[in-house]
Amino acid sequence: MSSSNQPWADISPQEACRSAVADWIGRTNWDGDVYLRSFMLSLYALQAGEGLEAAVRTGWRVLMPSAGTTPLLGQMTASTATSPSQMISLSVGARAGTAFDQLSRAQAMPEMKGCELRWLSIPGVIFEGFWLHSQSPDQPDLVSTVFSLDEELQNPVLTVDQFLPIVRQYALRRLASDDRPDYGES
């Protein structure tokens, strides 16, 4: 037990994920799992003209190559002072397979050298992808789309300077939309 009296303080996100998946499907082989730090960029940050530096750390995106015959894609929260890391979503099948295909492409890119591979989500724009966070001031950050409904974002890789104007326009449109249901007059 940790000195902070939190039983989960000594449990890594990997251990928490493995425990959750093992409880759910009985998986015991963890070879090839990939844990990416996960970030979320809000529509309001985009509206304010902010960039990826405004993305908030949300936890871990977990890519698991096989649970028998099909890959898994999980989302883990970050642990806090009051709660352990928890699995909040798990996708099986085609969605997870797409993520693995895109991961292989991203890892093979020459631009990956000197970059930390992260997961980026922009929920209101329906975007999820890889954020290649450069460790060098001479190399720009890059974004590679994994999931998006927008054709403009389907390029294999975009610099942040190309990416942000596209998602910003979608964010502004989304924020201007009235999503309340129309129940008619009372």
- For 30-63, write each residue's pLDDT tens digit: 667 888 999 999 999 999 999 999 999 999 998 8
Give the model confidence (pLDDT) of 57-75 as tens digits: 999 998 887 656 678 888 8
CB 100 within 8 A of CB 36: no
Give CA–CA dist 16/14, Å, rounded.
5
Give CA–CA dist 149/54, Å, rounded.
23
CB 73 within 8 A of CB 61: yes
Question: The pTM is what?
Answer: 0.80
Give the model confidence (pLDDT) of 116-168 as tens digits: 999 999 998 989 999 999 998 888 999 999 999 888 888 778 999 999 999 99
